[in-house]
Amino acid sequence: MRYPLVAALVAASATASANGRPPFTNGVFFKPGDGQSIYVRSTFGLLISHDDGCHFSWVCEQNIGYGGMFDPKYAIATDGTIFATTFTGLRVSRDGGCSFATATADLPATDPGRIADLWIDAIDIGPGGEVWVGTSESGKTNDVYRSVDNGITFARMGMQSPTIFWKSVKIARGDAMRVYISGYQVAGTLADGGQMQPTAHFLASVDGGAHWTESALAHVVFGSTPIVYAVAVDPANKNIVYMTSQAANPPSGDRLYRSTDAGATWTEVLATTQPISDVVIRDAQNVIVATATGGSFVSSTAGTSFQPIASPPQLACLGQRGDGQLIGCGTNWDPDYKAVDRSADAVTWQKVFRFVELDGPLACPAGTAEHDICDPLWAGLREQFGATGSTCGLAPDAAGAPPPPPSKGCCDAGGGGAASLLLALGAGGVVLRRRRQ
């Protein structure tokens, strides 16, 4: 399929405002069993490397199917299928990122397994390849769904609610039957006319979603909007689960809770001054908590207590690959000069990639969205970053001095202008609607 209208608009654009955020990385994802591939979320699309970070290619937002100040949650299947959550459904690429389609879009609106056109806000992939998602659609009945055929079809998991937005799902790495979910119930009017207060929910299942047990969340402190997230399950002990309470440490921090009994009871183990970006369980004793600008923290006591890490990069994301290597999202400019970095011990960090080293759009055949939409946008993005291509970890220029950060928002290439259409166009020319809780 060709995209002549998109190409014409790109060619005609001189200047436009993009999504209003500076360019930075804020998420990292891995393909199970692959020690070479790194998938990095950024404020201007998805960055993909298949050679351990030596070369990164760009997948633009329109190809994935979103726009604006929104960050999809990604999950990568063992076969390389890419799943991305959006406001209009679960977007799926089965060709490495060249093209995306909306899961179940071919089903009729009355089909109970249709998740197209719904805000997919939670996703995880279980150890057997099961794809779990949760919906957060205003004005509709939300539910948690599971797919056992790599995201082709989905089945409801009995959590239907017109008032709860399902915010997170986590599956134990060693047990596909152990599932944790969290949700946010909006305020409303009860059947008897009383007022229903907004409420956080956390539930666990030991039988793959056939039955659910809800946590009382006793002694958990909430923010002004009570939202909690299941963020990590101990791979060695499926009863140990970590949960964050969003904005529960005013004015901007989160609180981290640990449970040793599958969420029945909780103990607060850390309060941060900035939002927690990731929790990584290194092994039975060592746990790392990352924040972008509020410092990062390490526990050597199995997550029961934490200490600040001395001089870490500003970790807007942190993930641990199967080989134990830590991959993080630093700041491309001051103070880190590393858009992606790596560490073996969370003490010493090495640059993997900066934006000036971006190779270009993902190489895809004509007729795919990546080729027909993203390729024309590359000139503007290349101009903004001064991109000259990969250096495989070496200094990006002879002097080693990084260029200054852009003066405008992400992807506004000034006179170049092509990349500034990242907001003006939705996937296939459709503007995505935004929703608030």
The pLDDT tens digits of the residues spanning 30-57 come to 999 999 999 999 999 999 999 999 999 9
How far, in Å, CA of 375 to CA of 369, rounded? 9
| Chain-centre distance for alpha carbon 345 | 24
Element (H, E) at 296: none
Structure tokens of 390? 């990969």
At 86 the three-state DSSP class reads: strand
Q: What's the pLDDT at 274?
A: 97
Q: Which amino acid is at 24?
A: F
- 177-205 as b/e: b if 16+ CB within 10 A: bbbbbbbbbeeeeeeeeeeeebebbbbbb
Task: Give the model's pLDDT for residue 196.
Answer: 77
For every residue of 151-207, DSSP letters joined together read SSS-EE-S--BSSEEEEEEEE-TT-TT-EEEEEEEPPEE-TTSPEEPPEEEEEEESS
| Residue written as token pair 């009355």 | 110
Q: Give 409-433 pLDDT, tens digit per residue.
A: 555 333 333 333 333 333 333 333 3
For residues 184 and 306, give the distance between their C-alpha atoms in angstroms, rounded to a whole number: 28
User: Contact, 233 vs 241, CB < 8 A?
Assistant: yes
Residue 436, pLDDT > 70, answer no
SS3 state of residue 422 = helix
Question: Beta strands 120-125 and 101-102: pairing type?
Answer: unpaired
Distance, CA of 310 to CA of 298 (rounded, Å): 10
Give every strand in the sheet of 340-343, ordered side by side: 317-320, 326-329, 340-343, 350-353
Q: Which of 360, 350, 362 is nearest to 394 (CA)?
A: 350
pLDDT single digits (tens) 247-303? 999 999 999 999 999 999 999 999 999 999 999 999 999 999 999 999 999 999 999
Distance CA(59)–CA(67), nearest Å, equals: 13
Rounded to 5 degrees, φ, ψ at 217 are: 55, 35
| Res. 192 pLDDT band, cuts 50 70 90 | confident
* Predicted pLDDT of residue 187: 80
Residue 405: the pLDDT is 55
Within 13 A of 117's CA, how many CA atoms are on the CB side? 12
Instruction: Burial-class residue 385 by CB neighbours within 10 Å (0-12, 13-18, 19+).
Output: buried
The Cα 22–Cα 370 span in angstroms is: 23
Overall average pLDDT of the 372-398 stretch: 88
The DSSP secondary-structure symbol of 236 reads: T
Percent of the chain with pLDDT over 90: 81
**Packed helices 375-385 and 4-12: angle between N→C axes, nearest 10 degrees:** 30
The answer to whether 266 touches 241, Cβ cutoff 8 Å, is: no
Q: Is the pLDDT of residue 12 over 50?
A: no
What's the chain's average pLDDT? 88
CA–CA distance, 214 with 199 (Å, rounded to integer): 13
| 78: helix, strand or coil | coil
pLDDT above 70 (res 3): no
> What is this structure's pTM?
0.88
Mean pLDDT of the region 217-225: 97
pLDDT above 70 coverage of the chain, percent: 85
pLDDT value for 406: 53
User: Domains of the chain: which residue ranges?
Assistant: 4-162+272-429
How confident is residue 19, by pLDDT bands cut at 50, 70 and 90? low
